[in-house]
A and B are shown apart, each in its own frame.
Chain A
């Protein structure tokens, strides 16, 4: 087994996903199958290889340090599931 049901439960908690028992079972089987197939990567000798995080060839582009965003109107709130006045309304954080 490349991954156990217990690990799947732990990863789901990290990813903030609530899984039904049937989903948990299916995902354990799927991820196990996928990780088994991906195990072939371990056969490649990479001891002296630098990792690639991105492929850009020009470095980061920096703009002048001048504010360009106009002050937001109500648009950012238009898609919010719940608001109060000009505020996002969120569930209680402290019980």
Chain B
């Protein structure tokens, strides 16, 4: 029998339900694993050991009383530190919220608890989820479990690293331009960015509200489906959370993919890609064909405008969302007897890091008088063209397959000097957010340095089921996901 911290979510929950193991045993195993590997990984910003044991004991009492422990009953999970947890510090990776303790749970946090999950701690991320490597966290450095000199990806780098390091069985992340999929790919785990509106954003610290979406990271596709099922669905507290029914994703992923039409966008196989990434993704496409999918070449002609479009829209929304950090109701306040305006300016100067300031500045500029039409409105119009590209190809295809990123995990410090170079890490993930579509990242190989490579499967709006089914069929035919990080 494998160690408890190695169990999948599905297996761990099933064993708790069958009373073969207790939630407390599982939780102690996760906490022991965290204590053992965290010095090398640095995924967590805050641990909740006491609260986790208490939650696990409550699950064990439910099981003993013959009650349903929930879909995720007794399973240790981690939560990105941009998602509010009542009574547990939530920083967004920022100095400005370094001591912030929410008075309420985000809807996704409450749904995790209601499903019986045991929250073991809060996971590091780029400040306000702005970044592609987690190097923009003001509070800690997270390292890639496959190679400690490399980044875990971002912005949900702590979530990707913790799952890859077997510190928790699953984690929640958020994805505004690739922030679940990039760390999933770089850390060799599975991550899903659901359709915009599939999951409530209430209690999730806002970055870019028309793009932000919560989603799960785990070690296999079935685990991701189970966590999705537990947290998806309408919420009266978020008017953008869709009232559509939540299918049983657990069972939707079973079944053949024979006859499914899979599109391969030409624009996603470009010069400058790491050759091993292209080879691995093409190998995965061949595997899907062997499994009965019909693969065809398609075109998304406005792809080249996605990075600029995204960084204008996201920063414009961020400049507005981050206006709330004013040193009055919560968060940092600059010391000294300052007049109100001076207090605002010095508080924000001291509390925000370089990338957050850069994005606030870019967004404020794009929205300012004289530039609005040329930048913000133009970007919104091109967003329409990007959406229409996807709409058109998804009329003929059931899903699209692409790489998650042009390279495997890069070195810490390699891209911090030039913001544009860092922005290009998101080149294959960002259009999906602009179009609001669901997309899955899953392992499809390793490069010669032994670093994981990620495959992206993009679906129609609210058709997570097909995306998961394709991912699940591929995963069953391959063994990439079974390889563990060398810790």
Contacts and interface: CB of A to CB of B under 8 A. Distances in A.
Contacts of B333: 81-82
A91 to B, nearest CB: 5
Contacts of B360: 15, 17
Contact of B365 (A11, A18, A57): A11
A84 interface: no
Nearest to A83: B329
A65 interface: no
A61 B100 CA distance: 30
B46 to A, nearest CB: 15
B358 A14 contact: no
Which range contains the number of B residues in contact with the other chain? 35 or more
Nearest to B360: A15
A27 B359 CA distance: 10
Contacts of A49: 381-382, 384-385
Contacts of A31: 358, 361-362, 365
Given A41-B382, A46-B378, A50-B381, A17 B345 contact: yes
Interface in A34-78: 34-35, 37-38, 40-42, 44, 46, 49-58, 60-63, 68, 75-76, 78
Nearest to B242: A58
Contact of B348 (A18, A23, A93): A18
Given A30-B419, A93-B340, A51 B361 contact: no
B330 to A, nearest CB: 4
A62 B323 CA distance: 26
Given A31-B365, A38-B308, A91-B337, A55 B343 contact: no
Contact of A76 (B309, B329, B343): B329
B346 A11 contact: no
Contacts of B349: 17-20
B135 to A, nearest CB: 16
B37 to A, nearest CB: 32
Contacts of A46: 378, 381-382, 385
Interface stretch (B121-129, B232-240, B398-406, B444-452): B232-240
B188 interface: no
Contacts of B484: none
B441 interface: no
A33 B420 contact: yes
B436 A55 contact: yes
A79 B385 contact: no
A56 B461 CA distance: 10
Most buried by B among A23, A57, A78, A93: A57
A19 B67 CA distance: 58
Contacts of A14: 364, 368
A37 B329 contact: no
A41 B478 CA distance: 41
A48 to B, nearest CB: 9
Contacts of B358: 27, 30-31
A34 B378 CA distance: 16
A86 interface: no
Contacts of B337: 91
B62 interface: no
Given A3-B365, A55-B435, A93-B340, A17 B352 contact: yes
A7 interface: yes
A89 to B, nearest CB: 9
A55 to B, nearest CB: 3
Contacts of A27: 357-358, 361
A81 B361 CA distance: 26
A51 B217 CA distance: 32
Most buried by A among B103, B365, B377: B365
Interface string A1-21: 001000110111011111110
A41 B346 contact: no
Contacts of B343: 91
B305 A40 contact: yes
A38 B383 CA distance: 14
Most buried by A among B360, B362, B379: B362
A81 B420 CA distance: 36
Interface of B: 99-101, 103-104, 196-197, 210, 234, 236, 239-244, 302, 304-305, 308-309, 311-312, 319, 323, 326-333, 337-341, 343-346, 348-349, 352, 357-358, 360-362, 364-365, 368, 374-375, 377-385, 387, 418-420, 434-436, 461
Given A3-B365, A17-B357, A17-B360, 15 more contacts: A8-B361, A17-B349, A40-B304, A41-B305, A44-B302, A44-B382, A44-B385, A46-B385, A52-B380, A53-B210, A54-B210, A55-B436, A56-B436, A57-B461, A60-B239
Which 9 residue pairs across A and B have the least CB separation, nearest first?
A: A55-B436, A51-B380, A81-B333, A79-B330, A75-B103, A46-B381, A18-B345, A38-B308, A18-B349
Interface of A: 3, 7-8, 10-12, 14-20, 23, 27, 30-31, 33-35, 37-38, 40-42, 44, 46, 49-58, 60-63, 68, 75-76, 78-82, 88, 90-93, 95
13 contacts: A10-B368, A16-B341, A17-B348, A35-B365, A41-B378, A41-B382, A44-B302, A44-B378, A44-B381, A61-B234, A62-B239, A75-B103, A79-B330
